[in-house]
Chain A
Amino acid sequence: MVMLMRKIFGRALCLLSLATGLALADAIPTGALSAGSAQTRDQQLREIRDVMRGGRGGFLDVGFNYLPLPSQTPLESPYGEHDGFAFRHHFAGFGSGAVARNSQLGALLWFERSGWDGEDFFFFPQYNDFSHVSSMTTWGLTFSQIKYDLTFAGGMQHYNVERVGIVYPEEDDSLYYSWAHLRWNHFSLQGNFYRSNVCFLRLSMDLESRVVYGGQSHGILTYLPNVDFTVYNRSVDRFSADNYRMNWEQNLYGQVLYAELSYDFPDDGFHSAALKYYPDPSRMVAFEATCIRRNKDIDGTDDLLWGGAIEFPFVRFAYNSSYEYENFFHAKGTFIVEFQFNMTAFDGFLFARGGTRSAPLETINIEKKNKDKPPEGDGLIHLNPSELSTSNSNKPKTLEATGIRYEKSGGNEGGK
């Protein structure tokens, strides 16, 4: 009976997935899972760069992808297509405090557990023959000198492999990644290292003027671009491209409409582009239209993938979006839901990562409607309730301090 019910449920689910077009989802290549760790290291350090623009304050991020059907992210192995679930759980936190005049000391932690598994889970995966479950932890300490607008941050990255199935190349724990971040004003330099080798170096110029960091709310300075330039070293990192990547983020209109372009030098050329509309400059809500060139080494094709996403404070919906393609194992052809929330706090301003103005969160003062009406009773706490019943008339109100006692400080009581 239970078996029959399971079968019926299974069939109903298959039909549902067919009906909604979800069954047409493309399979995730095993190579995308193997290359996931390099992408995560890069992405986490990019996020750290964004959060450290002010050098102090706080940041909180939490999120996880939700896929109801195993046909949404099947795995493509040499044997065929496996039903299952790609997953990505992440959280991040940063906080800082003043340790001396003009000096701020902070700590940060970024964590992500991601991969592919045969079962849908939150904490305990199935770990089957084709699972790929791993986590990346980035931690560090930050020091900011406010007077010179200078930040130094550094720490380590640990890649922890929980399970690598039979269809992937061997992978081991790699605990010796380290990183360093140096920021002065609008410029920052970031390095990622494995033991004594350089994995990548990144120079960022966040020239755009932002109100939250003491800049301007409008004018020509808000139209300056945010550019970063990264040099990857493939001899250390077998997955990252041995090339130079340039990202250009450009405010197109009033810090609510942005264009982004990512370009690879010298050979690959165009990598991705996006047009993003944030109804509010705090970036709590976003509408994105994206285009990304697929990875030829992993996907076998370098077609352009067009997609989009809508992001609200607690949930993000994406279809073929470049962020999901890059950070969710090249998942495409299916709607991806991510429950997520991130918030930056800086000098009392609250905004999502990368935001330029504070979120329109208002403090609502609830005023008393009946302000003019005399309050019931006289509003005094009567020390003697029996007095209340007799004081209803227009008699002038008095409060007798009957409860206060005066004590003489005697010699043997020791003061008071």
Chain B
Amino acid sequence: MIRSILMRRMRTMAFLLGLFAIPLMLTGCLSHWFIESETRLQVENATAKYSILSLDVVSLDGSIYSSWIDETILPGERSRVVSADWVGEFKIRLKYTKSADASGDTLVDYRMLDFDGGSMFLKISAEKGSLKYKFR
């Protein structure tokens, strides 16, 4: 009697373990529901009189770079959405000019930015002569 109850319990346990094993096997597929493995980035130039020339990811020592948004963004404009495999924390190089028509000397600004993945909207504004980056 006791043995048969025990057997039934064992069988239930084995069944539950089996049931648990299936989603475990599919863990990769399941995690894709809430973990993004690429970043779709759009940049808005929210400054009044600066023009953005490009946004690149550079190596921490500055020796190599990989271009991400390669497009001139005039004040008030938005770039195209460009998707890339950058998910994590990277060093960003922004090339810009202090003019509303992309003329003049090219200036460079470096930042460490955290990209969570998924659709990201980066708003770049200028406050008292320095650039401010804000994800929205």
Contact = CB atoms under 8 A, between A and B. Distances in A.
Interface of A: 3, 5-7, 9-10, 13-14, 66, 68, 70, 74-75, 78-84, 118-122, 126, 128-130, 166, 339, 366
B90 to A, nearest CB: 4
A119 B87 contact: no
Interface of B: 3, 24-28, 31-38, 57-61, 63-64, 66, 84-91, 112, 116-119
Mostly, the A contact residues are loop
B87 A84 contact: yes
Contact of A122 (B25, B33, B119): B25
A167 to B, nearest CB: 9
B85 A79 contact: no
Contacts of A83: 87-88, 117
Contacts of B119: 3
B24 A13 contact: no
B87 A118 contact: yes
B27 A66 contact: yes
A5 B87 CA distance: 19
A79 B34 contact: no
B38 to A, nearest CB: 7
A68 B87 contact: no
Given A121-B28, A128-B85, A129-B85, A6 B118 contact: yes
Contact of A78 (B37, B59, B87): B59
Contacts of B88: 74-75, 80-84
What 4 pairs between A and B have smallest CB-CB spacing?
Answer: A9-B34, A78-B59, A80-B90, A121-B28
B35 A10 contact: yes
Given A78-B60, A119-B37, A128-B37, A68 B116 contact: no
Contacts of B35: 10, 13, 70, 119-120
Contacts of B27: 66, 68, 120, 122
